[in-house]
């Protein structure tokens, strides 16, 4: 059960947009994720401060329950545009696949994650910010790979920027334009290869 | 960071005995400068809105606005 396997499966898709519920969720099921997932669109959450979050819980039915009920609450700022809703929710959803060693659940780790995650991009340091902050940031790129699959990119690539503008491509993918730009960039195949290896 | 906003943010995660936090992750907001206090205050306020029933969850992710687009047809028509 890994995010690499999910991205690999999605990379074959040759259409846009990718619907999270109809297309991505079944892939989670195939990977063995059977958690209950709830989406909270919060109209008062300020997207300038917090765009979204996931809280992943276990509810043991009894002490040392080997099969606890697992529930994920994904909250997102409703004030954002629809394309951002999708990106934020997809990114948070992918954290259901986080390996144990990168999960964050202790108060001291949460403090540290927040301390690093709020830094503006020019102050981020992938070498010293730690695995938790790093995996939080990388997950946005994973979400772009899921919502704009390699198969779809490859069909559009010869026409991109000529008769097919980037805003039009972003509109077809229903993702924010900066992530459409990232996927259509020359460096994307290399980034993609690192994600699926 | 003020103790108050930090503790409000933590309380909502650890106050219940019947549930255990497995993982928590964030999508940072788009403001260039964000301080820990306001980040924690936003989170705590969102948790309070969930607890009070002011917002309710949907069992599905935000849906696409468009039907699937056949990209091969799109490029053929260019």
Question: Cβ atoms within 10 A of the Cβ of A60, count?
Answer: 14
Cross-chain residue pair A57–B65, CB shorter than 8 Å: no
Helix (H, G, I), strand (E, B) or coil at B21: strand
Q: What number is the ipTM of this complex?
A: 0.89
What's the rounded Cα separation, in Å, for the pair A9 and A12? Answer: 6
| DSSP state letter for A15 | E
DSSP calls for B36-62? HHHHHHHHHHHHHHHHHTSS--BSSPP
- The label of the residue with tokens 């992943």 reads A56
Residue A40 sits at the chain B interface (C-beta within 8 Å): yes
Cross-chain residue pair B36–A52, CB shorter than 8 Å: no
Spell out which residues of chain A touch residue B33, defining contact as CB-CB under 8 Å. Answer: 120
- Residues present in chain A in total: 197
- The label of the residue with tokens 């334009």 reads A177
Residues contacting residue A129 through CB under 8 Å, at least 6 positions apart: A116, A119
A36 to chain B: nearest residue by CA? B59
| DSSP state letter for A119 | S
Residues contacting residue A116 through CB under 8 Å, at least 6 positions apart: A124, A129, A130, A132, A133
Q: Does residue B12 register a pLDDT over 80?
A: no
Residue A40 near residue A76, CB atoms below 8 Å: yes
Spell out which residues of chain B touch residue A164, defining contact as CB-CB under 8 Å. Answer: 74-75, 78
pLDDT at residue number B5 = 67
SS3 of A25-64: the string is HHHHHHCCCCCEEEEEEECCCCCCCEEEEEEEEEECCCCC
Residues of chain A with confidence (pLDDT) below 50:
none
- The label of the residue with tokens 């846009």 reads A16
> Are β-strands A36-42 and A69-77 bridged in parallel, bridged antiparallel, or unpaired?
parallel
Give me the residues of B, 3-62, that contact A with CB < 8 A: 6, 9-10, 13-14, 18-36, 38-40, 42-43, 45-46, 49-50, 55-62
Q: Prior bond to A17 cis, omega within 30?
A: yes
Instruction: Record the pTM.
Output: 0.92
pLDDT at residue number A71 = 93
Encode pLDDT of A12-64 as tens digits: 999 999 999 999 999 999 999 999 999 999 999 999 999 999 999 998 767 77
Residue A118 near residue B35, CB atoms below 8 Å: yes
Interface residue of A28, A35, A57, A173 to substitute, partner B, most B CBs within 10 Å: A57
Residue A178 sits at the chain B interface (C-beta within 8 Å): no
pLDDT at residue number A155 = 97
pLDDT at residue number B1 = 46
Torsion of CA A128, A130, B46, B28, to 10 degrees: 50
Closest CA to A2 of A80, A97, A71: A97
Residue A170 sits at the chain B interface (C-beta within 8 Å): no
* Residue A124 CB burial class (10 angstroms; 0-12, 13-18, ≥19): middle
Residue A158 near residue B75, CB atoms below 8 Å: yes
């Amino acid at each position: 059960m890994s995010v690499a396997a999910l991205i690999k499966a999605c990379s074959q898709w040759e259409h846009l947009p990718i619907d999270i519920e109809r297309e991505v969720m079944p892939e989670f099921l195939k990977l063995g994720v059977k958690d209950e997932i709830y989406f909270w669109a919060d109209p008062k959450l300020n997207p300038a401060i917090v765009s979204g979050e996931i809280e992943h819980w276990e509810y043991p039915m009894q002490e040392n329950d080997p099969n606890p009920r697992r529930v994920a609450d994904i909250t997102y700022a409703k004030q954002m545009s629809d394309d951002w809703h999708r990106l934020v929710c997809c990114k948070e959803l992918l954290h259901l696949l986080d390996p144990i060693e990168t999960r964050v659940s202790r108060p001291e780790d949460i403090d540290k994650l927040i301390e690093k995650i709020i830094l503006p991009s020019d102050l981020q340091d992938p070498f010293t910010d730690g695995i938790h902050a790093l995996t939080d940031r990388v997950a946005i790129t994973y979400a772009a790979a899921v919502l704009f699959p390699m198969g779809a990119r490859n069909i559009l690539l010869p026409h991109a920027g000529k008769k097919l503008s980037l805003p039009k491509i972003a509109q077809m993918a229903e993702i924010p334009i900066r992530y459409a730009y990232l996927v259509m960039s020359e460096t994307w195949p290399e980034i993609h290869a690192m994600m699926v290896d | 960071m003020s103790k108050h906003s930090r503790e409000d943010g933590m309380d909502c995660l650890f106050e219940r005995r019947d549930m255990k936090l497995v993982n928590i992750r964030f999508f940072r907001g788009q403001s260039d400068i964000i301080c820990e206090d306001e980040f924690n205050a936003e989170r705590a306020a969102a948790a309070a809105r969930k607890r009070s029933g002011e917002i309710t969850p949907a069992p599905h992710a935000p849906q696409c606005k468009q039907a699937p687009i056949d990209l091969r047809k799109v490029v053929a028509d260019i």
